[in-house]
Structure 1
Amino acid sequence: MKHLLTAAAVATSLCAGWTTAALAEGATHHIAVHVNQNDPKVMNMALNNVQNLTRYYEAQGDTAVVEVVAYGPGLHMLIPGKSPVADRIATMSLENDKLSFSACGNTHRKMSEKAGKEVALLEEASIVPSGVVRLVELQEQGFSYVRP
Structure 2
Amino acid sequence: MKYIIALVSAAVLAVLAVTASAQDTERYGKQKVVYHINYDGGTESKAYKGAMRNIQNHINAVGAENLDVKVVLHGNGLGLLMAAKDDSTLQTVVGSLKGQNVGFQVCNNTLKGRKISYSDDLYDVWEEDIVPSGVAELSRLQQMGYTYIKP
Q: Does TM, normalized by the shorter one, top 0.5?
A: yes
1:110 pairs with one of 107, 113, 136: 113
Runs of 4+ aligned residues of structure 1 deviating over 6 Å after TM superposition are none
Q: Which residue of 2 aligns with 1:123?
A: 124
Superposition deviation, residue 82 in structure 1: 5.7
1:60-75 superposed matches below 5 A = 63-75=66-78
Q: Which residue of 2 aligns with 1:81?
A: 85
Aligned 8 A contact 1:36 1:72 in 2: yes
Matched length:
117
Q: Which residue of 2 aligns with 1:32?
A: 34
Q: Which residue of 2 aligns with 1:138?
A: 141
Q: Gapped runs of 5+ residues in structure 2?
A: 1-24
Superposition deviation, residue 124 in structure 1: 4.6
TM-score (norm 2): 0.67
Superposition deviation, residue 41 in structure 1: 2.2
Q: Which residue of 2 aligns with 1:16?
A: none
**Residue 68 of structure 2 aligns to a residue in which SS?**
strand
1:52 partner amino acid? N
Give % identity.
26
Superposition deviation, residue 28 in structure 1: 2.0
**Residue 85 of structure 1 aligns to a residue in which SS?**
helix
Superposition deviation, residue 145 in structure 1: 0.7
Superposition deviation, residue 123 in structure 1: 2.2
Aligned 8 A contact 1:35 1:42 in 2: no
Q: Deviations over 1:37-91 (max 9, x none)?
A: 1212221121111111111112xx9601100111101111123536672331012
2:30 partner amino acid? T
Distance 1:124 1:55, change over 3 A: farther
From the CA coordinates, give the structure whose radius of gyration is larger. Answer: 1
2:75 is equivalent to residue 55 of structure 1: no
Choose 47-56 or 83-92, whichever is displaced more. 83-92
The root-mean-square deviation of aligned C-alpha atoms, in Å, is 2.5
Partner Cα separation in structure 2 for residue 62 and residue 27 of structure 1: 10
Greater percentage in helix: 2
Partner Cα separation in structure 2 for residue 124 and residue 90 of structure 1: 11
2:32 partner amino acid? H
Superposition deviation, residue 92 in structure 1: 2.2
Q: Which residue of 1 aligns with 2:21?
A: none
**Residue 72 of structure 2 aligns to a residue in which SS?**
strand
1:48 partner amino acid? R
